[in-house]
């Protein structure tokens, strides 16, 4: 009997495949009230790629928010429909002009923000339509959302993070380990036959497309794929 496959070990949830969530700073959801606050601190968050800003609101509550570029300690931020179009302020999409960079966008009104939260990323409003707002995402795709969905003005801070080289494999290993993704990954065809269904040869030696209902020991390759291979030119 061979050793467990990588995906079987991940499914088991052993410590090697588990991120250290206790070091995180917590959620960075939007405040549901229309209010103003003051940035009291900027912190590194090990559980995410972007820094977080600690904001003290008028009610006395302190809350973490994603830090946009150019945000500084002592700066005032506003949340609400009448807020100024300024970096760090949060408004409904219906109130944000076209072409303004935005991040931490809600998919449904008052869900706290789900889209565009990674460092250096931003989206922008393309058009205001009768029944919603169409935005352009960092992936170049477009999405239509409710006018009441909120977003924060500006780009997420820490842009250019990927431009710095890791230099050595140890640094890459530690960065991936912090997110529960061990590195390096050995190619399946480079393994022995006892360790993987594709092992023992320079090629898989069998079809890579398998049923979604296959057993865990054989569920490798293109799982439940509708199609595979290169598309033919028309």
pTM for this structure?
0.81
pLDDT grade for 89, boundaries at 50, 70 and 90: very high
Q: What angle is formed at CA 186 by the lines to CA 166 and CA 210, rounded to 5 degrees?
A: 125
Q: Does residue 69 share a domain with residue 144?
A: yes
Which CATH number covers residue 72? 2.30.30.30
Q: Does the pLDDT value for residue 127 go beyond 70? A: yes
Q: For residue 53, tell me if it sits in a domain.
A: yes
Q: Does residue 149 share a domain with residue 189?
A: no
Q: For residue 1, tell me if it sits in a domain.
A: no
pLDDT grade for 90, boundaries at 50, 70 and 90: very high
For residue 155, what are the CA distances in angstroms to 24, 109, 130?
22, 21, 27
CA distance 55 to 77: 9
Write out the H or E segment, with its range, that includes residue 8: helix 6-12
User: What pLDDT, on a 0 to 100 scale, did the predictor assign at position 21?
Assistant: 77
Q: φ and ψ at 104, to 5 degrees? A: 50, 60
User: What pLDDT, on a 0 to 100 scale, did the predictor assign at position 106?
Assistant: 97
Mean per-residue pLDDT, 135-147:
97
Q: For residue 14, tell me if it sits in a domain.
A: no
Mean per-residue pLDDT, 136-150:
97
Q: Does residue 137 share a domain with residue 169?
A: no
Q: For residue 7, tell me if it sits in a domain.
A: no
Q: For residue 150, tell me if it sits in a domain.
A: yes
Q: φ and ψ at 16, to 5 degrees? A: -65, -25
Q: Which of 143, 160, 177 is the last residue of a domain?
A: 160
Q: Does residue 156 share a domain with residue 172?
A: no
Q: Does residue 183 share a domain with residue 120?
A: no
Q: What is the DSSP-derived secondary structure letter of residue 183?
A: S
Q: For residue 12, tell me if it sits in a domain.
A: no
Distance of CA 178 to the CA centre of its chain: 15
Q: Does residue 144 share a domain with residue 41?
A: yes
Q: Does residue 87 share a domain with residue 43?
A: yes
Helix, strand, or coil (residue 109)? coil
Q: What is the DSSP-derived secondary structure letter of residue 41?
A: E
Distance of CA 113 to the CA centre of its chain: 12
Q: For residue 135, tell me if it sits in a domain.
A: yes
Range of the domain at 135: 28-160
Highest mean pLDDT among 30-34, 121-125, 183-187, 197-201: 121-125
Q: Which of 160, 191, 206 is the last residue of a domain?
A: 160
User: What pLDDT, on a 0 to 100 scale, did the predictor assign at position 11?
Assistant: 85
Q: Does residue 150 share a domain with residue 37?
A: yes
Mean per-residue pLDDT, 197-226:
92
Q: Does the pLDDT value for residue 234 go beyond 80? A: no
Which CATH number covers residue 173? 4.10.950.10
pLDDT tens per residue across span 42-57 = 999 988 999 999 999 9
Looking at the structure of the chain, the number of domains it has is: 2
Q: Does the pLDDT value for residue 201 go beyond 90? A: yes
Q: Which of 119, 143, 160 is the last residue of a domain?
A: 160
């Amino acid at each position: 009997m061979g050793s467990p496959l990588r995906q079987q070990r991940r499914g088991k949830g052993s410590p090697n495949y588990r991120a250290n969530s206790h070091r995180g700073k917590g959620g960075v959801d939007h405040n549901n009230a229309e209010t103003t606050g003051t940035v009291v601190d900027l912190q590194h968050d090990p559980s995410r790629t972007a820094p977080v800003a600690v904001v003290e609101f008028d009610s006395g509550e302190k809350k973490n928010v994603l830090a946009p570029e150019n945000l500084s300690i002592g700066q005032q931020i506003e949340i609400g429909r009448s807020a100024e179009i300024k970096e760090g302020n949060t408004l409904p999409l219906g109130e944000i002009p076209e072409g303004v960079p935005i991040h931490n966008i809600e998919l449904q009104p008052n869900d706290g923000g789900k889209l565009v939260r990674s460092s250096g990323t931003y989206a922008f409003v393309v058009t205001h339509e009768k029944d919603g707002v169409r935005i352009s995402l960092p992936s170049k795709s477009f999405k239509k959302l409710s006018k009441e969905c909120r977003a924060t003005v500006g780009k997420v801070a820490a842009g250019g993070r990927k431009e710095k080289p890791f230099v050595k494999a140890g640094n890459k290993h530690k960065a991936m380990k912090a997110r529960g993704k061990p590195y390096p990954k050995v190619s399946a065809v480079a393994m022995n036959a006892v360790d993987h269904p594709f092992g023992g040869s320079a090629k898989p030696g069998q079809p890579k497309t398998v049923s979604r209902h296959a057993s865990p020991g054989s569920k490798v390759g293109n799982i439940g794929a509708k199609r595979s291979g290169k598309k033919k030119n028309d």
